[in-house]
Amino acid sequence: MKPFHEKLSTGKSVLIVIAVTFLLTACTPATYVTVHLQKPAEFNIGAVKNIAVLDFDLTGEWTFDYEKKPESVMGSLAAAFKKGAGLTEDPPPPPDPRSAFPGERVSDKLIGVLAANEHYNVLERSRFDEIIQEQNLSLSGLVDQEKAVEAGRLLGVEGLIIGSGTYNMKDDGGWYQRTYKDKTYIFYSIDRTVNVEITYRFINVENGQVLGSKTHHQSTHDYVEAASRADAQQEVKEWKSMVDKAVNKTVDESAQEISPHYVNERRKIKPGILPLMKSGLQYAKRGLWEDAKKSWEQVLQETPPTHEDRVPALYDLAIYYEIQGEFDQAEQYFDQCFQLSGNSSYLDDRKRIRKRIKELEVLENQS
């Protein structure tokens, strides 16, 4: 019988790449294989392959740790005196809400992730800009769906991704004191929080249908304590890097929803006690899977039905067949593990196999 993944496709979409890692616990050595698996997109994207990503419309808002305005007449006089004496500085002007962290950076990040997934043919920005100039278009921050569809047709693509979002940064700063071992310490702290919200829509240019749309929220946080306010402002993370980190997370989440993508999952190899089991483990460590398989099969041939290494050998063979994409065999061995041991975790392994079969069916439709 052909492996299930060969029935579905012989292409790259179901290729499984194996790497081996070694993790030692405090008590018992455990060996894991890391399986590089392709997962389907969350949304039904159909057969759309050629896409473009328009620049997102992104705006920002900031509340920096500036000197607060005086709340009294005496406070105003004191502030004026300090300013006249050159003891204070006016706060710098706030950044531009649209250009300080432009939406173009969001679209560029998304283009990079989608290109790395190798599922879509993403229109290159150089070609994109060339078409915009030829057609005398203005697509910056375009979020209107009807106009976006028309733009997609002019760009000659099947799918178009448009989006918008906001981010805000807020500092909570002030002088504080802490007592430790009868000593009082005075320090200045800044608690900086960045929140990002980004919404995207993936549109089928042919019929205007929205294939996928979602809003993602991400936050990043930094807290510093220093001997002076100036030191705290110097040490706190720069706001752009914090926005960048949050945007990266929203982009990764979005890409997984609209594109087949790769993930790493771990599978444990059971060591057993017989020399043959230990040989199989060493073969598996080095990626010599056929040799490992022979060792585990020999354990089953040479041990009585009640031997304690039969379940580990069956389990390791099930992992072997799962990795090879021979899912019927993998299910049979996991089921034998359950029947011999009564451990319901082996039924969870069977359930994982069934889920993987369905994922490959979806992947075949998406490719």
Distance CA 366, CA 260 (A): 8
79, pLDDT greater than 50: no
Q: What is the pLDDT of residues 38-70, one digit of tens each?
A: 999 999 888 899 999 988 999 999 999 865 544
**Global confidence as pTM:** 0.76
Q: What is the pLDDT of residues 182-218, one digit of tens each?
A: 899 899 999 999 999 999 999 999 988 999 999 999 9
Distance CA 48, CA 41 (A): 12
Residue whose pair of structure tokens reads 């290159």 in the numeric block? 124
In the chain, the DSSP E strands lie at: 17-24, 29-39, 50-53, 57-63, 121-122, 159-180, 183-204, 210-226, 261-269
Q: What domains lie within the chain, and their CATH numbers?
A: 4-40+262-366 (1.25.40.10), 50-259 (3.30.160)
Q: What is the pLDDT of residues 266-287, one digit of tens each?
A: 999 999 999 999 999 999 988 8
**Cα-based angle 311, 314, 320 (whole degrees, multiple of 5):** 140
332 close to 346: Cβ distance less than 8 angstroms: no
Q: What is the pLDDT of residue 143?
A: 58
pLDDT > 90 in the chain, percent? 65
